[in-house]
Amino acid sequence: MNWLRLRSRNGRGATTPPPASIGMGHDESLDAARVRMVHEQIVSRGLRDPELLRAFATVPRHRFVEVGSPYADEALPLPAGQTISQPFIVALMTDAARPARGWQGARVLEIGTGSGYQAAILAELGADLTSVERHAQLSESAARRLADAGYDGVRLVVGDGTRGWPSGAPYDAVIVTAAGPSVPKPLLDQLSPDGGKLVMPVGTRVHQELTVVQRRGEKLTRSRRDPVVFVPLIGEHGFGE
């Protein structure tokens, strides 16, 4: 598997602590921390898709995080009172949204661009991605980070993502990275009738369950998964201000 090669490039096992960084150039200790993150937080909890693991071992999470330890097993603060999810939760949601035909060229909609990290993961997987964010300031800094990291094909939109982005529909996958009281109807309408999958935390403002909906024709199959805590989805089909 590719991601294993990435690990051995450093000649270190996943459980060896990273060495102190040297100089200002490419930081090998960050590479090592990222590979450890993949093993200790994602593989160890049962996610095994090689493509997914390779994406998490590749995307430089440290470039999307301003405060805290970028490769720690925790959510971290973003400006405007928002948060970037714990790496495992990003992995779990991405895994649950994987289109049957794979990520390459899949039409994907993300609601809640935030730092741009989840968007970078989806772009690394080869998705044709549109990501909507209600805070213009967050969208602008995500645009900069995505371009700096080489993911310049992502379409970023500022607006209320609870209305979706009809001009890009139908979507093979929709990932909502903020919590709503229910799945917004426009997002279900914009989901591909040919097996499109939507993943979103649904519940109250303080506690939610990760919910997966798959659409076949007009039939929606819903499954509830892990308990999670996300910042609120605020908009016409979400929570109020």
Closer residue to ligand SAH in complex, CB, 18/53: 53
- Compute the least distance from the CB of residue 82 to ligand SAH, in Å: 4
Region of residue 46 (left: phi > 0; alpha: psi -120 to 50; beta: else): left
79: helix, strand or coil: helix
Closer residue to ligand SAH in complex, CB, 4/212: 212
- Compute the least distance from the CB of residue 231 to ligand SAH, in Å: 5
- Compute the least distance from the CB of residue 166 to ligand SAH, in Å: 14
Find the catalytic residue in 85, 131, 139, 192: 85
Residue 227: CB atoms within 10 Å = 11
- Compute the least distance from the CB of residue 204 to ligand SAH, in Å: 15
**Rounded to an integer, what distance in angstroms lies between the CA atom of residue 27 and that of residue 21?**
6
Closer residue to ligand SAH in complex, CB, 36/134: 134
**Which residues of this chain interact with ligand SAH, rule CB under 6 A?**
82-85, 111-112, 114-115, 117-118, 132-135, 138, 160-162, 177-178, 231, 233-235, 238
Whether residue 115 lies in the annotated active site: no
- Concatenate the DSSP letters of all residues of 191-235 into one string: B-TEEEEEEEEEE-SS-EEEEEEEEETTEEEEEEEEEE---B-BS
Residue 174 pairs with which residues in a beta bridge?
A: 109, 198
Closer residue to ligand SAH in complex, CB, 133/172: 133
- Compute the least distance from the CB of residue 230 to ligand SAH, in Å: 7
- Concatenate the DSSP letters of all residues of 90-134 into one string: HHHHHHHH--TT-STT-EEEEE--TTSHHHHHHHHTT-EEEEEES
**Rounded to an integer, what distance in angstroms lies between the CA atom of residue 36 and that of residue 128?**
28
| Catalytic positions, written as ranges | 85
